[in-house]
Amino acid sequence: MEQISLVDLSAIQLRAASYLVREGLLKGRLVIHRVILSNIEEQASMGDTLAIRGLEELEYTCGQHNVEITYSGSYDKDGEKDRLIILEEARKLNANLVTCDPITARLAQSIGIKVFYELPPPPFKIDDLFSEDVMSIHLKEGLPPRVKRGVPGRWRLEEISDKPMSREDLELLIAHLMKEAYSSFGINAFIEVDKPGVKIFQLRDYRIVVTRPPFSDGFELTVVRPILKKNLKDYNLPREVVERLEVHAEGILVAGPPGMGKSTFAQSLAEHYRQMNKIVKTIESPRDLHVSPDITQYSKSASREDELHDVLLLSRPDYTIFDEIRSSEDFDLFIDLRFAGIGMVGVIHATTPIDAIQRIANKVDVGVLPSIIDTVIFMDKGEVSEIYTLEMTVKVPAGLKKADLARPTVIVKDFLSGEPKYELYVFGERTFVVPIKKLREEASTPVRQISSFLHRYIPEFKIEEDDDTIRIYIPEKYYRIYLRKCQNKLLKLAKRLEVNLEAIPRNL
């Protein structure tokens, strides 16, 4: 009896049908539905020639191995999906289905169609590229493959081959990854985003991001693996910091530039809370934190509006890890859940701790800021570099003088030293962030003190500092005022400040 095999578009694009013919696994007659020809023509007209080159190779290979190719069906779809048309044709012809698409393969098997789901060997195996110090793999059409080697904050980009990646290579690598993913969905794999231009999925420890034109300027595949899974003890935090995280901190921001270990720290904190018998949930997009099974991971991208809010309020976790806060909707969700009394740990990109605080401060009244954020952990090169706390008080803010300007002020302190670093307050309709150290330094400099004194008497002057000498250039019309009211007092001040003082009459 003649063997009939129906070939779908994926098997043509990835050269799998040609590979099976060369290996002697496909014999007899190959059938290609005319809907597939229509798809190939449509892709070619848009500049994508991958499928038409695959068809040319299949025709040539079949000719070399004495395998017949025929065409069946019509272009008229009547609104039916291409996948269903192919499956129906395979049933009608009693043919084997040749595919590289995991959904088509599983669907065909479920309705009793024999399937050839075989892929040609990939150009390399992703697992083989991930040595201990490789953080991520970066593959782009037309460029040599590269890896990011090192640890967060200390890494280098290396080319691992001189040969540029082709579109066929990238498509084949993705097909192998997807084949493994679909064999273990819900256990070791899940898809976060699956759109025509973007695909994001998790496979074991790998986060895989695929982009295609027109979303990106070229076909690109990025595979990221967390290089570390640390325990909170590995950070060697002082006891008082651990005590604050365990007992007092309920609105925590883990901040830092990209690649500095923010998610790794948040992951260790989630496990620490779990070990304290706390109910812990995560909000992620994509879900790539590696946490224990009893920590439920929620997908932001897979949820609809308000679903996460309602689920988290009803399930009542003690802590929720939000990795990462990016959009306005993310900030609103974080703030609302914190107001509801849920302990929140938010991961946020920021170049300094105060930048992270300001991103929340811009969303709420300053007076409620410490109720949302009470602790900021700033990460640098995989380690905790700074720890800030927020407190609320009523005072005259730094930089203001009059007692009647007292107002609610948020003080941002270095947790370990207790030293105030910044003050946040509202004046008029603006929120001001004042660096305390800078004010103190400016107020304590000789130039600042001399300049402040002179402004009481002289509205216009120029002041310069040269090593231990301060020169004051005073317009001639004010010089007599200087001699009569300022000179003696300034000379005494200069002596106390241990600087030399020169006053020079000069029109500015």
User: Which one of 116, 138, 155 terminates a domain?
Assistant: 116
255 plus 386 within the same structural domain: yes
404 plus 316 within the same structural domain: yes
Residue showing tokens 């300027």: 217
Residue 490 counted as domain residue: yes
User: Which one of 436, 468, 483 terminates a domain?
Assistant: 436
For position 76, what pLDDT does the model report?
63
Query: Within 183-305, where are the H helices?
Result: 239-243, 262-275
207 plus 256 within the same structural domain: no
- Name the helix (H) or strand (E) containing 259: none
Beta carbons within 8 Å of 82's beta carbon, 6+ residues apart: 9, 35, 36, 39
CATH number at 179 reads 3.30.450
For position 349, what pLDDT does the model report?
93
243 plus 277 within the same structural domain: yes
Length of the chain equals 508
* C-alpha distances in Å from residue 448, one per residue of 36, 397, 444: 79, 20, 7
CA atoms within 13 A on the CB side of 500: 6
For position 403, what pLDDT does the model report?
64
Structural domain range at position 312: 232-436
- Name the helix (H) or strand (E) containing 471: strand 469-474
For position 203, what pLDDT does the model report?
84
What 3-state class would DSSP assign to 212?
A: coil
CA 366, 369, 375, 377 torsion-angle sign? negative
Complete edge-to-edge strand list for the sheet that includes strand 500-505? 462-466, 469-474, 500-505
Digitized pLDDT (tens) for each residue of the chain, 508 residues in all? 578 889 999 999 999 999 999 998 888 889 999 889 988 888 888 888 889 999 999 999 988 988 888 888 876 655 557 888 888 888 888 889 999 988 889 899 998 999 989 889 988 888 888 887 888 999 999 999 999 988 766 788 889 888 999 988 998 999 888 888 888 776 677 777 788 888 888 888 888 899 988 888 889 999 988 656 789 999 999 999 999 999 999 999 999 998 788 988 999 999 999 999 999 999 987 677 878 888 998 888 777 767 888 899 888 899 999 988 988 899 999 999 999 999 999 999 999 999 999 999 888 888 899 999 999 999 988 889 999 999 998 888 876 766 667 888 999 999 988 889 999 988 877 888 888 865 455 555 788 788 878 877 888 888 888 877 888 888 888 888 888 888 888 888 888 878 888 888 887 6
**Rounded-to-integer distance, Cα 64 and Cα 263, Å:** 54
Residue 66 counted as domain residue: yes
* C-alpha distances in Å from residue 287, one per residue of 208, 247, 308, 324: 11, 27, 14, 10
Find, among 393, 357, 351, 394, the residue nearest to 372 by Cα: 357
Tell me the Ramachandran region of residue 211: left when phi exceeds 0, alpha when psi lies from -120 to 50, beta otherwise.
Answer: beta
For position 154, what pLDDT does the model report?
76
CATH number at 37 reads 3.40.50.1010
Beta carbons within 8 Å of 42's beta carbon, 6+ residues apart: none
241 plus 381 within the same structural domain: yes
Beta carbons within 8 Å of 250's beta carbon, 6+ residues apart: 338, 343, 344, 374
Could you give the angle at the alpha carbon of 488 between the alpha carbons of 482 and 489, nearest 5°?
A: 90
267 plus 384 within the same structural domain: yes
458, 478 contact by CB (below 8 A): yes
Residue 121 counted as domain residue: no
162 plus 178 within the same structural domain: yes
* C-alpha distances in Å from residue 465, one per residue of 437, 438, 442, 445, 451: 21, 19, 14, 11, 11
What residue type is assigned to position 325 of the chain? I
User: Which one of 413, 436, 459 terminates a domain?
Assistant: 436
Could you give the angle at the alpha carbon of 301 between the alpha carbons of 297 and 302, nearest 5°?
A: 75
For position 508, what pLDDT does the model report?
64
283 plus 377 within the same structural domain: yes
269 plus 418 within the same structural domain: yes
209 plus 243 within the same structural domain: no
CATH number at 358 reads 3.40.50.300
Contacts 24+ apart (CB under 8 A), 416-420: 416/238, 416/240, 416/241, 416/387
397 plus 304 within the same structural domain: yes
Strand partners, 414: 388
Model's pTM, two decimal places? 0.65
For position 455, what pLDDT does the model report?
79
E strand residue ranges, 81-153: 96-98, 115-116, 134-140, 146-151
For position 485, what pLDDT does the model report?
85
Domain count, the chain: 4
